[in-house]
Structure 1
Amino acid sequence: MKKISSPLTEQALLQRANAIAGLTFSELAEELGISVPADLKRDKGWVGQLIETALGAKAGSKPEQDFAHLGIELKTIPINAQGYPLETTFVSLAPLVQNSGVDWQHSHVKHKLSKVLWIPVQGERSIPLAERYIGQPILWQPNPQQEQRLRQDWEELMEYIVLGHVEKINATLGEVLQLRPKGANSRALTKGIGKHGELIDTLPLGFYLRKAFTAEILQNFLQAR
């Protein structure tokens, strides 16, 4: 596998992202010496790893941004033929314990979403994985109105966690952000706070961006072009 160094500037990162736009997964994988799986059933994170490798991202699964030295998070986003996102976007794990006093300004969610490089990719299952195309990169920062909506949801969802109402959390809460179980399976338990302030076993929860919100980001970019 070809090793790619991390880009030193935002401009260099954008140049790289623009250079891979229009390539198929197999073309990029061949350049990098990576083999393409038949499908994503057993290799769910393969597309993200392919793009990370091509752009020189370093964070992996650490809580910092993918390009921490540039303050930029990388997100691949599978879209359909109409350019609409096919799935929600994972942002970060929710802090289920030791979270009193955590505010929006110092939250992982705000940190991760302060500047995002979105790479749209063809995601329709009818297209063989090797033949799917990589789209135009979008460098995005939330505008004040978008940040306000994110903050409102984050604060509301965190209140459920801090007050010990984890069992009341479901995917319908939140307009642009939602909390959902984030674990390989239902046995992957972690510690949380119960309604009487006691420690309980619960599923790890992750913050996800709703498809309507990421669709809006893509749409705004297309209209501004």
Structure 2
Amino acid sequence: MPIPAPLPCAPETEALLLAQAQRLSGYTLGELASLAGIATPEDLKRDKGWIGILLEIWLGASAGSRPEQDFAALGVELKTIPVDGQGRPLETTFVCVAPLTGNSGVTWETSHVRHKLKRVLWVPVEGERSIPLARRRVGSPLLWSPDEEEDRQLRLDWEELMDMIVLGQVERITARHGEFLQLRPKAANARALTEAIGAQGQPILTLPRGFYLKKNFTRALLERHFLLCR
């Protein structure tokens, strides 16, 4: 297998981005880290975003920590997805932080969730805990945009969740709400509070929330794609 090299800058076309992602397929995380001169952590307990950062380096991602797509010039978001031996997602997929105030006039078409999901480069990575992090292999990538039905499904979930946020019911939202898109707390610790709207319309402090794609959505997406590729 030829030895790849990290892209020195953001790719100029989707074809170049996909081709580079395909070159990484089959390599272990340890091999890619070593070739890039990066240390591989023992596990992801304190380095949860390490895999994404490693692949951003190899693919020439430009966004960094800015709230835009990883490949802003192409309008493409990078999402790594840990999978089991049968290619099934092991975790929900974080999309973006949820706005808990200032949502007047926001629609699905103008939402940050839709902006993030309109074009995604999915990169499956072996995620079973029995496999040491350095030995986990990168899988075949998928460049995806939601079709009409997927967009409809996500819009319905987003509208349900945003209605609850606007009506002061954010603390009643559980992971069961939403068929494919869910809202969950996203904070480093319980002291990291943010402002939201309470049941009586009053300002309250609560944990930050994030939008996540449920595993049933990403599983169907991956199964459909890789079945078509066989």
2:102 aligned with 1:98, yes or no? yes
* Cα shift readout 1:74-105 (whole Å, capped 9, x = no counterpart): 00000000111010000011110111111000
Unaligned runs of 5+ in 2: 1-5
Identity between Structure 1 and Structure 2 (%): 59
* Cα shift readout 1:132-170 (whole Å, capped 9, x = no counterpart): 100000001101001000000000000000011112111
1:21 aligned to which of 8, 11, 25: 25
Distance 2:25 2:60 in 1: 15
Q: Is the CA contact 1:63–1:108 (under 8 Å) kept in the aligned structure 2?
A: no
TM value normalised by structure 2: 0.95
Q: Is the CA contact 1:22–1:133 (under 8 Å) kept in the aligned structure 2?
A: yes
Q: Aligned partner of 1:104: which letter?
A: W
Aligned to 1:186: 190
Aligned length: 224
1:66 aligned to which of 61, 67, 70: 70
Unaligned runs of 5+ in 1: none
* Cα shift readout 1:30-68 (whole Å, capped 9, x = no counterpart): 111111111111111111111111101121232211001
Distance 1:23 1:3 in 2: 16
RMSD across aligned positions (CA) = 1.0
2:48 aligned with 1:48, yes or no? no
Q: Is the CA contact 2:7–2:59 (under 8 Å) kept in the aligned structure 1?
A: no
Q: Aligned partner of 1:196: which letter?
A: Q
Distance 2:192 2:66 in 1: 19
Distance 2:87 2:224 in 1: 12
2:30 aligned with 1:39, yes or no? no
Q: Aligned partner of 2:165: which letter?
A: I
Q: Secondary structure at the match of 2:183?
A: strand
Distance 1:60 1:164 in 2: 33
